[in-house]
Amino acid sequence: MSAATTRSRTPDRLCAEAVDLARAAAEEAAAPGVVGEHVGVVSEGDRVVTHFFESKEPGYRGWRWAVTVARASRAKVVTLDETVLLPGTDALLAPEWVPWSERLRPGDMGPGDLLPTEADDMRLEPGYSGEDAPPPNSAVSDEMADRVEAEDAEIVSRTPSRGAIGAVAEELGMRRARVLSRYGLHTAADRWDDAFGAKTPMAQAAPATCVSCAFLMPLGGSLGQAFGVCANEFSPADGRVVSLAYGCGGHSEAAVMPKPPRPAAPVLDSMRADEFPLRPAPDSGSVPDHADGSPDDLGHS
């Protein structure tokens, strides 16, 4: 270990004893009554020392007031260098700042919110044409222009402007300036497969996959080979993009509901009349037996 390193780790005696000077500087920079006890001293170099004081500021738990003092070579007077509030090892710190584009999550956007895309967004690529620069051997390339200039000739550039390209694209029905790139297609497919794919619990318990379901509406383009839109109002994926390997209990061919049994028609016999006696028979048990043979007076005249 060198002598310079040893001196840098040993605080200067006069600077280390300047605790009152450091405290006065900290109290001047801070609010009244927030500078606490002296908690340590650290050597920053030759005749440069930092004093640390406890901070009692509300909301700054574990922070310390750091006051750096120094003195010139062969000088007896210690002078103030810097006063700052620094976090300690157990200080309460704010979380690391994250840009808004990285904090945004699906579902965070609301009515009126705008989400601008960057010019070099990896999910997008030009929709009209690739590069605006002409090919190397074309009549309007830089190489050909240099040759013409060397021969004192003149050419007329035929490179279409961006406005002309946009007009032609709109006339052909291609109004989107940018479309999904291969990376954008892959990331979208990964999200949809995670939400409504073959590995979800619903698909694992389904009787069949969506590829054979009548409620599946196919997609156009390359994504139609692996995804579709569910149109079953009773399915948990109604109106969502689902993988062809997804499935649920609402599959159109999962089961055929049996028809409810139809009750038999009532049988009515209207060909003959049934005779019903007006008085019960004497031997039926419902008429009292009279010894004298005379019936009771029923009140008839």
Contact of 245 with 197, CB cutoff 8 Å: yes
pLDDT tens string for the chain (301 positions)? Answer: 444 444 457 888 899 999 999 999 999 998 888 899 999 999 998 899 999 999 988 888 889 999 999 999 888 899 999 999 999 888 888 888 888 778 888 778 778 777 777 788 888 887 765 444 445 555 445 555 565 555 555 545 554 555 565 565 565 556 667 888 889 999 999 999 999 999 999 999 998 999 999 999 999 888 899 999 999 999 999 999 999 999 999 898 877 666 778 888 887 767 777 777 777 777 766 666 555 555 555 555 5
What is residue 301's predicted lDDT score, i.e. its pLDDT? 53
Contact of 128 with 174, CB cutoff 8 Å: yes
Q: What is the pTM of this model?
A: 0.45
What is residue 300's predicted lDDT score, i.e. its pLDDT? 55
What is residue 122's predicted lDDT score, i.e. its pLDDT? 86
Distance (Å) of CA 122 to CA 25, 161, 220: 53, 25, 22
Q: What is the dihedral of CA 181, 183, 189, 192, to 10 degrees?
A: -100
Measured in degrees and rounded to the nearest 5, phi and psi for residue 281 equal -70, 145
Unique residue bearing structure tokens 């994250």: 98
Q: How many CA atoms lie within 13 A of 266 on its CB side?
A: 3
Give the C-alpha separation, 10 to 18, whole Å.
Answer: 15
Give the C-alpha separation, 11 to 45, whole Å.
Answer: 8
What is residue 4's predicted lDDT score, i.e. its pLDDT? 45
Strands (E), 123-204: 124-126, 178-180
Find, among 75, 76, 29, 74, the residue nearest to 51 by Cα.
29
Give the C-alpha separation, 208 to 246, whole Å.
Answer: 8
81-90 contact pairs (CB < 8 A, 24+)? 81/48, 83/25, 83/26, 83/28, 83/29, 85/30, 85/55, 85/57, 85/60, 87/62, 87/63, 88/62, 88/63, 88/64, 89/62, 90/61, 90/62
Write the CB contacts of 205 (distance below 8 Å, at least 6 apart in sequence). Answer: 249
Write the CB contacts of 165 (distance below 8 Å, at least 6 apart in sequence). Answer: 128, 129
Report the Cα 59 to chain-centroid distance in Å: 31
